[in-house]
């Protein structure tokens, strides 16, 4: 890094407010991606010092120790040691500590200080510590550690200016902290290992004993970011130490905590009798075996009620906006393929998906709210007993819950699960959580078969039922995989319960903005491209005889409308719809739909729904986009009729409705279970490192979706529905 743009690493334990402070410093000046080679999220941003100098910041994964036990902790260790070629070693560290859990946070802090990087310590959540009547001597703590200490309350912004001043300093002192010396026999073993690693280039020639120490402490060397040729050497060194000095790791941990307890005793004064905190009082109710479960269920019902009710107005505005845009383009351009491409392909396709943005944003807002307040960890605790029935622990529910927003971050979040077996099972079942991409499909189909007079609460209840169906399906398959395919002992859950805190609205809104931007980029690129392809496939090859016939009918409709003969206008429009349907049937998309129609006909689907199933394999929400394009191609005029209304009007050759309640329910069940997302499949392949598990997941999910949808339609038909 150049002196003009130093790199600051934001480091800390999970739930310490690390990301909130990163967001305060960077605002919208940040980018989110992944570290090459792993699925650990990489956040980088920039801010300016009080002197106007640009500072680059990197939000490193939350961790409890540099003795890595997960990919997150391995990335943190490797970045701080300068072991990652894709990320330079930070020039400075901003360590975020939870003031209400000082002793635990000091463990990682002391490890970081020993690396010799200039460090600023931020004591966050001082309000929670004060509520517990804790008194932290900030000046004494700074003297003991040899680093600047900034008290802060990130959610309210208290202490932000002091933090800005601290990181703006050019002369941040090097830490003075030194932990207890290593036992001589362990030091000698580490020196031998260091020499061996130097010979093969696994460590650089200026490394201290800390690097081989943390590499040998990695319980999964595959996470170490080391070339394959060094893995065996690292493992042999570990085995040698284990054989010669059993319990050496525990000895080092105990020695470090002895030193930390000395510091804590000097700087922290607790009351003789601590009063129950707000967190303890809330947990008495929210973690209750009965009331806690009722609270979770009530919260979910309320959330889906908002998704239907509150989002209704903005969705109407978006729909009207795209409708007006289509009408404006239609008036501006002469008739022809280019106008049809823009109006019926791009505008209808993208508009059919973007309309659901308000509902998706509500979902992301509440997920951010649960994470920021500390309630997300409580959900894992409440559901641990339920998860244990299927052989998992409550920790697996956090990635599963994240999958309700999107399966991709949900699958990536499984890296926090220590057990490889539990992690793999969670990856395989995560896409069964009804992600936000399913919301457009659910809303469209529920609205299509339920009259407008039906209450919003009834629609929300059906939505909750669909989410419950996917959740029960995930639990069932977790039980099958745990008891059958991947037998083994179950890992216990060790989960930190963070203190409740006021949510940082700015951070939550920033999260919502990032997800909205990602969704809109996806709509503006992937879905736009798919819309064009679907329109082209639905339009070509052209049948000129049918086109000429349609043109004649359109002229007749114009003349009849002038004479106000409503009955003949309706008859002519029905004739035009039939001609356009014949044209669609002969198109590339129509032929593809007809090709799979024999397989989907037992489910109650026609060839047009088949086009939607094929298109939605790219992403589930593309089903709505595909139907928008397919039915816009058949539209009797240039107006973009809402796709919901088009579904309600769609009829078969014999005059019966296509989208009956039974067909809609069959489709809903299909989309609850089907693996219709290429992006998720790619992430599963990368996370598991196996094509086999990806194809296995695709097979069991799609097979289950087909069989259940088949059962719904056939049994329902047999019962007279």
pLDDT in tens, 473-515: 988 998 888 887 665 555 555 566 778 888 888 888 887 887 7
Q: Is pTM beyond 0.75 here?
A: no
- The CATH class given to the 7-168 domain equals alpha beta
**Is residue 436 within 8 Å of 404, Cβ to Cβ?**
yes
Label the pairing between strands 7-12 and 268-269: unpaired
Residue 374: partners with Cβ closer than 8 Å, 6 or more residues away:
15, 279, 497, 498, 499, 500, 501
Q: Which of 200-204, 490-494, 531-535 has the highest mean pLDDT?
A: 531-535
pLDDT tens, residue by residue, 257-300: 888 999 999 999 988 777 777 788 888 888 888 888 888 888 77
Confidence at residue 223, expressed as pLDDT on a 0 to 100 scale: 44
Pairwise CA distance, residues 634 & 504, whole Å = 48
pLDDT band per the 50, 70, 90 thresholds, residue 65:
confident
Residue 161: partners with Cβ closer than 8 Å, 6 or more residues away:
none
Give the pair of three-digit tokens for residue 343.
Answer: 């109006």
Tell me phi and psi for residue 427, to 5 degrees: -60, -40
Distances (CA, A) of 174 to 112, 178, 671: 12, 12, 57
Pairwise CA distance, residues 217 & 196, whole Å = 16
SS3 content of the chain, % helix, strand, coil (to 5): 65, 5, 30
Buried b (16+ CB within 10 A) or exposed e, 627-653: bbbbbbbbbbebebbbbbebbeebeee
HSE, CB side, 13 Å, CA atoms: give it for residue 341: 10
Pairwise CA distance, residues 296 & 286, whole Å = 9
Give the pair of three-digit tokens for residue 119.
Answer: 């460090």
For CA atoms 707, 708, 710, 714, the dihedral sign is: positive
Going from N- to C-terminal start, the domains of the chain cover: 7-168, 184-249, 286-485, 505-718
Pick from 509, 514, 397, 404: which is nearest to 463 by CA?
404
Which of 129-133, 185-189, 493-497, 632-636 has the least mean pLDDT?
A: 632-636
Distances (CA, A) of 354 to 39, 516, 521: 28, 10, 11
User: What residues pair up with 93 in beta bridges, in sequence order?
Assistant: 9, 119
Confidence at residue 118, expressed as pLDDT on a 0 to 100 scale: 92
**Is residue 426 within 8 Å of 414, Cβ to Cβ?**
yes
Confidence at residue 163, expressed as pLDDT on a 0 to 100 scale: 92
């Amino acid at each position: 890094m150049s002196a003009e743009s130093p790199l600051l690493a934001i480091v800390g334990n999970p739930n310490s407010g690390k990301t909130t402070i990163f967001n305060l410093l960077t605002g919208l000046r940040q980018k989110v991606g992944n570290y090459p080679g792993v699925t650990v999220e990489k956040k980088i941003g920039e801010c300016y010092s009080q002197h106007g100098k640009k500072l680059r910041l990197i939000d490193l994964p939350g961790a409890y120790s540099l003795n890595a036990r997960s990919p997150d902790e391995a990335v943190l260790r490797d970045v701080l040691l300068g072991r990652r070629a894709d990320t330079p070693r930070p020039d400075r560290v901003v360590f975020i500590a939870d003031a209400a859990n000082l002793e635990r946070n000091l463990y990682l802090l002391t490890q970081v200080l020993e690396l010799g990087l200039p460090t600023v310590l931020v004591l966050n959540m001082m309000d929670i510590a004060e509520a517990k009547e804790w008194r932290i001597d900030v000046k004494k703590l700074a003297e003991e550690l040899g680093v600047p200490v900034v008290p802060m309350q990130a959610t309210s912004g208290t202490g932000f200016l002091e933090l800005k001043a601290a990181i703006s300093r050019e002369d941040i002192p090097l830490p003075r902290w030194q932990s207890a010396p290593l036992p001589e026999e362990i030091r000698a073993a580490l020196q031998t290992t260091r020499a061996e690693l130097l010979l093969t280039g696994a460590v650089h020639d200026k490394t201290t004993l800390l690097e081989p120490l943390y590499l040998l402490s990695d319980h999964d060397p595959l996470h170490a970011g080391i070339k394959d040729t060094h893995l065996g050497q690292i493992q042999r060194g570990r085995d040698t130490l284990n054989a010669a000095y059993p319990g050496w790791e525990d000895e080092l941990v105990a020695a470090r905590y002895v030193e930390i307890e000395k510091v804590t005793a000097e700087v922290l004064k607790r009351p003789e009798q601590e009063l129950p905190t707000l967190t303890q009082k809330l947990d008495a109710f929210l973690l209750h075996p009965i009331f806690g479960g009722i609270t979770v269920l009530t919260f979910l019902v309320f959330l889906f009620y908002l998704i239907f009710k509150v989002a209704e107005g903005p969705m109407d505005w978006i729909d009207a906006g795209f409708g007006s845009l289509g009408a404006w383009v239609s008036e501006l351009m002469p008739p022809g393929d280019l106008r049809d491409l823009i109006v019926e392909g791009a505008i209808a396709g993208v508009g059919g998906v973007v309309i659901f943005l308000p509902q998706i944003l509500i979902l992301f807002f509440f997920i951010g709210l649960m994470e920021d307040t500390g309630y997300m960890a409580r959900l894992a605790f409440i559901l641990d007993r339920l998860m244990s029935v299927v052989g998992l622990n409550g920790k697996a529910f956090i990635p599963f819950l994240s999958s309700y927003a999107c399966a991709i971050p949900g699958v990536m979040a499984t890296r926090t699960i220590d057990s490889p077996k539990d992690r793999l099972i969670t990856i395989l079942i995560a896409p069964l959580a009804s992600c936000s991409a399913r919301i457009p499909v659910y809303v469209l189909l529920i609205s299509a078969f339920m009259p407008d007079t039906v209450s919003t609460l009834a629609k929300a209840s059906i939505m909750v039922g669909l989410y419950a169906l996917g959740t029960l399906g995930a639990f069932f398959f977790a039980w099958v995989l745990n008891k059958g395919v991947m037998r083994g002992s179950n890992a216990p859950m060790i989960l930190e319960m963070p203190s409740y805190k006021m949510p940082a609205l700015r951070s939550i809104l920033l999260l919502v903005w990032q997800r909205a931007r990602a969704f809109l980029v996806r709509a503006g690129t992937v879905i736009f491209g798919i819309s064009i392809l679907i329109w082209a496939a639905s339009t070509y090859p052209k049948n000129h005889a049918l086109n000429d016939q349609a043109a004649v009918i359109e002229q007749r409709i114009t003349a009849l409308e002038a004479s106000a003969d409503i009955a003949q206008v309706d008859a002519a429009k029905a004739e035009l719809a039939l001609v356009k349907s014949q044209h669609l049937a002969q198109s590339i998309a129509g032929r593809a739909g007809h090709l799979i129609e024999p397989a989907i006909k037992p489910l109650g689907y026609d060839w047009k729904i088949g086009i939607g199933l094929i298109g939605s394999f790219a992403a589930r929400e593309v089903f709505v986009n595909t139907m928008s394009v397919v039915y816009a191609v058949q539209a009797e005029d240039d107006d973009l009729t809402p796709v919901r209304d088009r579904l309600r009007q769609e009829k078969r050759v014999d005059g019966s409705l296509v989208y009956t309640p039974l067909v809609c329910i069959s489709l809903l069940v299909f989309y609850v279970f089907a693996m219709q997302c290429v992006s998720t499949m790619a992430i599963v392949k990368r996370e598991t490192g196996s094509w086999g598990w990806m194809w296995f997941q695709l097979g069991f999910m799609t097979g289950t979706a087909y069989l259940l949808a088949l059962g719904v339609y056939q049994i329902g038909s047999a019962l007279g529905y």
